[in-house]
Amino acid sequence: MNPRVRDGVVVHGRRSVLKTSLAGLGGLTLPGLMKLRAEGTATKSGKSVILLWMTGGPSHIDTWDPKPDRPIENRGPFKTIPTRLPGVRICEFLPKQAAMLDKFTVIRSVDCRFSNHEPNMVMQTANLANEPRTNPKAKLYPSFGSIVAKHHGANHPAMPPYVVLNMKSRSHVAWGGYLGTQYDPFDGNNATKLFQLPAGLTMDRLHARQALSKQMDGLRAEIDASGMMGAMDSFGQKAFDIVAGGRAQEAFDLEKEPKKIRDRYGEHDWAKQALLARRLVERGSSFVTIDLSNHGASGTWDNHGDNIPPYGGIWNGLRPLLPVFDHVITTLVSDLGERGMLDDTLVIAMGEFGRTPNLGTQGSTDGRNHWPVVMSMCLAGGGFRHGQVIGSSTKDGAEIDERAVTPSDLAATIFHHMGVPQDVTYADHQGRPNFMIDQGRPLVELI
């Protein structure tokens, strides 16, 4: 900034004012964010992840790890049904998934110790210290989606790499943290507003503004002795393409989808979000999280008991969710498969933790409290070997019995799928490198 020129505000004319103003704003533009996203981005592989985030922590015993031979206070009120996998049974309210469980892997031994919620992101960051209630630095640990956004990027330059749909609260998802806000998720709730042109602004005028922006960039180039402003043109074009190019705008418009497909997914909001997630990865987004919740508190799957609203207990709270979830996940996986996208798209369904082995916690007769000792989750797609159950819990579902799977193992599996290095690091505010994966390994059963 002309170090040999005297300090202070020295205005010689309108051009000087513009030059000084633009120099200060240079790093805050959308093209600047596009440039930062491009730095360090690996070669695109076409791979993507859809995370069905079951906010609040679903009961493992009442979903994928039933205990039918246990007393009712342990096993809960649901019956079990056989599945496509011989000898494997799951909850009676997941019949569609049971019929195609050969397309899934169920993990019954996820080690979710230290995980909590509202907010807590251990299972979205693989960092066991991610507890903002007790650790002020917790919010700075980057999410899986943010790491993918930086080291893989979008599969198409006109699409946002990391998107969150149906976000009911900022505490439900993990963010860019130390990586910077440019790697925060794109909030799908605001997509409609973003892609609506202000009143009186036509595409012709928008293109005219782009031309004006190029003139301003030429002015900025005068203050950049290194010539970096010339390289901004391509990033500016990418930013313009996202807003005005139509690809992202079209992806968020479900009316563009054939009616028979929309009818297949159905009218439930979660189903619409699943269809939207498929459209986003189909068009080039690489990591999409769907907040499977109906309220902004700790999450719809937080089934403490009927006496603790708005959660409900296992029968009145969890039971109505399961048929909806069953339809959403099986429709999504089937649709991806029919489109030839399933090998490239890893679908993950999980929450923060399991729930207590026995009913009746916190003065309820029908609820289960948090249980950050063991939980279940499921995966499909990604080109992995499926049709299996990994690990097991003890007879009462209280602890891990065999094959503990850690958050770092999950991160390593996601990064293996996405082509992100296993030794990837991020720098804290002191510039010190931090490993994203702490002793985790990709799940060998899947590879």
pLDDT of 177-190, one tens digit each? 999 999 999 999 87
Phi, psi of 170 (to 5 degrees): -60, -25
pLDDT tens digits, 95-145: 999 999 999 999 999 999 999 887 778 999 999 998 878 888 888 999 999
pLDDT tens digits, 200-251: 555 566 566 656 556 555 555 554 544 444 444 544 555 555 555 588 889 9
What pLDDT was estimated at residue 271? Answer: 98
Q: Which of 9-13, 23-27, 169-173, 372-376 has the lowest mean pLDDT?
A: 23-27
Q: Which of 19-23, 96-100, 430-434 has the lowest mean pLDDT?
A: 19-23
What pLDDT was estimated at residue 122? Answer: 94
pLDDT at residue 49 greater than cutoff 90 = yes
Give the pLDDT band (50/70/90) at residue 8.
Answer: very low
C-beta of residue 97 within 8 angstroms of C-beta of residue 329: yes
Q: For the residues 50-74, what does the mean pLDDT come to?
A: 97
Phi, psi of 371 (to 5 degrees): -145, 85
pLDDT tens digits, 266-277: 999 999 999 999
What is d(CA 361, CA 28) in angstroms, rounded to the nearest whole number? 50
Core vs surface per residue 351-362: b (16+ CB within 10 A) or e: bbbbbbbbbebe
Q: For the residues 370-382, what does the mean pLDDT come to?
A: 97
Across the chain, what does the average pLDDT equal?
85
HSE (side-chain half, CA atoms, 13 Å) at 197: 14
pLDDT at residue 38 greater than cutoff 90 = no
What the chain holds in terms of domains, given with CATH numbers, is 49-192+268-435 (3.40.720.10)
3-state helix, strand, coil in the chain (%, to 5): 40, 15, 45
Please give the torsion angle defined by the CA atoms of residues 415, 419, 421 and 424, in that order, rounded to the nearest 10 degrees.
Answer: -60
pLDDT tens digits, 281-331: 999 999 999 999 999 889 999 999 999 988 999 999 999 999 999 999 999
Phi, psi of 52 (to 5 degrees): -90, 100
